Amino acid sequence: MSENHFDVLIIGAGVSGVGAACHLTRELPELSYAILERRDRIGGTWDLFKYPGIRSDSDMYTFGYHFRPWRGTQVLADGASIRGYVQETADEYGVTGRIRFGRRAARAAFDTTAGLWTVQTVDETTGETMEYTSRFLVGCTGYYDYDGGYRPSFPGEESFTGRIVHPQQWPDDLDYEGKRVVVIGSGATAVTLVPALTDKAAHVTMLQRSPTYILPVPAEDPVAVALQQLRVPAPVIYRIGRARNIALQRGVFQLSRSRPRLARRLMLGAVRAQLRGKVDISHFSPKYNPWDERLCVVPSGDLFRVLRRGQASVVTDTIETFTPNGIRLASGEELPADIIVSATGLVIQFAGGMELEVDGRPVTTHDRVIYKGVMLDSVPNAMVILGYTNASWTLKADLAAEYFCRLLAHMSRRGYTQVVARAEDGDRGTESMMGDALKSGYIKRGDAISPRQGTRDPWKILNNFYIDSVRLRYGRVEEAHLEFRRGTALSEVVDADSTAVA
């Protein structure tokens, strides 16, 4: 075999890819693997986003890897700290030297006769192409397009004399000191940007079409701080904090689903206490129920603090047109602006935009379901690692990587060389794999390429850590929905009428 052949190829060196590689190193050190990474540094999302204030929107006890605890009492960490944590983890487990940087995976094709994946890569700097082969493929590219975020065309924007930027392509030379800034949006990025920009801007306005549920959380974990003062060992503090926060995440989601009116009252009560009568609560009173869209969190209520102080303001309205000096709203009000930030969301992308083929037949991801949330049906020897939408991403990424290692170990013991998940037509629902959990705009826009939600187990995406931890860590590996084979041939892996991934 060539030097570009491995037992496992991992696509992406972000949180998921590095985590999967560490699990392989820990649990199956005899296997060879490499990571193909398009960028020139580790970190994925946390290397891409550079906008002011970039931070996690999940607590670090649950966002960190379970095998390498996040130390400290900070609840939400800044982007640079998270990227550093991922880099340090990769260094500690010997992963860094196995990463092939500057390699965009453009096409991945599986040959059932040879039992091999062939991945075609492109060096986007030089145009050089290179092929890698492996027995197994693991997709760790997340679910959004790194090339650009969602950026709608605004009426009259060509007349605006200032700068318009999207957080996903934050310019290094953007000087907002003393400037009037309007941030369009009310999601996690917007509520992070607004307080961060007030350090230099003359004024920041958050312009939202509709409100979002926003919850204040402590900047420092008070329980962890108290336990540190009592000299409780760090591993014990970590285990307590992680177990508690997993339960809290699940509890808030379950309450929102089972008793939405009560959840709404509690959440709006917390916001009202933060606003202290200085800002109209209507700007933070969504028309939908909690967790119909993802909740936003703000450490120590920093967004509410800058609103109370008058350093920032919030406006709920729709845009009529951009003007030379700002934005005119449907109400007739004009918001003055020197800089407009379009924090309008993400563009969904599956498998990092790779074309997927099995035996020369393109795979249409829209027509597939995902076995236990980790294996695309009818695609052999491949895993996809997608985190939770209603809890910390890494909770599911860790479980998926653990399951992958269990699967490989089982195959090795039994002499299997190929495995494929088989779904029946009735197993495929009509909604996106994330559509039953969230109704956010970016999920609706990505419906055309997202795999379907299953109609029954094991094809339903549950977004439930407690259930997933049992079935992925302890459930039977060999069962009716998986086809294992020794040797090479697997019959009719992909339907003949499949079409290419856009």
CA distance 293 to 193: 19
- Tell me the sheet residues that pair with 329: 319
**Distance of alpha carbon 58 from alpha carbon 79, whole angstroms:** 12
d(CA 241, CA 235): 10
Q: Does residue 310 fall inside a structural domain?
A: no
In this structure, the answer to whether residues 199 and 325 fall within a common structural domain is yes
Same domain flag for 334 and 367 = no
**Residue 63 belongs to domain with CATH number:** 3.50.50.60
Query: Distance between CA 444 and CA 1 in Å, rounded?
Result: 44
My answer on whether 130 and 198 are in the same domain is no
Instruction: Kindly give the confidence (pLDDT) of every residue in the chain, 502 residues in length, as a single tens digit, with 9 standing for 90 and above.
Output: 578 999 999 999 999 999 999 999 999 999 999 999 999 999 999 999 999 999 998 999 999 999 999 987 889 999 999 999 999 999 999 999 999 999 999 999 999 999 999 999 999 999 999 999 999 999 999 988 888 889 999 999 999 999 999 999 999 999 999 999 999 999 999 999 999 999 999 999 999 999 999 999 999 999 999 999 999 998 999 999 999 999 999 999 999 999 999 999 999 999 999 999 999 999 999 999 999 888 999 999 999 999 999 999 999 999 999 999 999 999 999 999 999 999 998 888 888 889 999 999 999 988 899 999 999 999 999 999 999 988 999 999 999 999 999 999 999 999 999 999 999 989 999 888 875 545 566 666 667 778 999 999 999 998 999 999 999 999 999 999 999 999 754 333 333 333 333 2
Q: Are residues 59 and 165 in the same domain?
A: no
The pLDDT value given to residue 389: 85
Look at the alpha carbons of 411, 412, 413, 415 in this order and tell me if their dihedral is positive or negative. Answer: positive
User: What is the model's pLDDT at position 446?
Assistant: 67
pLDDT at 489: 42
Q: Are residues 324 and 351 in the same domain?
A: no
Residue with tokens 């209603």: 390
Task: Tell me: do 167 and 98 sit in the same domain.
Answer: no
What pLDDT does 492 receive?
35
Report strand pairing: 370-371 vs 163-165: unpaired
Check whether residue 201 and residue 323 sit in a common domain.
yes
Nearest to 20 by CA among 30, 10, 28: 10
Compute, in degrees rounded to 10, the torsion defined by CA atoms 135, 140, 142, 146. -90
Report d(CA 294, CA 440) in Å as an integer: 7
**75: domain range?**
5-147+347-485
Q: What pLDDT score was predicted for residue 501?
A: 30
DSSP three-state, residue 342: strand
Tokens of 466: 């407690």
The whole-model pTM stands at: 0.92
Q: Say if residue 341 is in the same domain as residue 364.
A: no
Question: What gap in Å lies between CA 251 and CA 243, rounded to an integer?
Answer: 12
Q: What is the pLDDT of residue 487?
A: 76
Three-class SS state of 463:
coil
Q: Cα(212)–Cα(186) distance, rounded to whole angstroms?
A: 6
Q: What pLDDT is stored for residue 1 in this prediction?
A: 55
Q: How many domains does the chain have?
A: 2
- Do 336 and 351 reside in the same domain of the chain? no
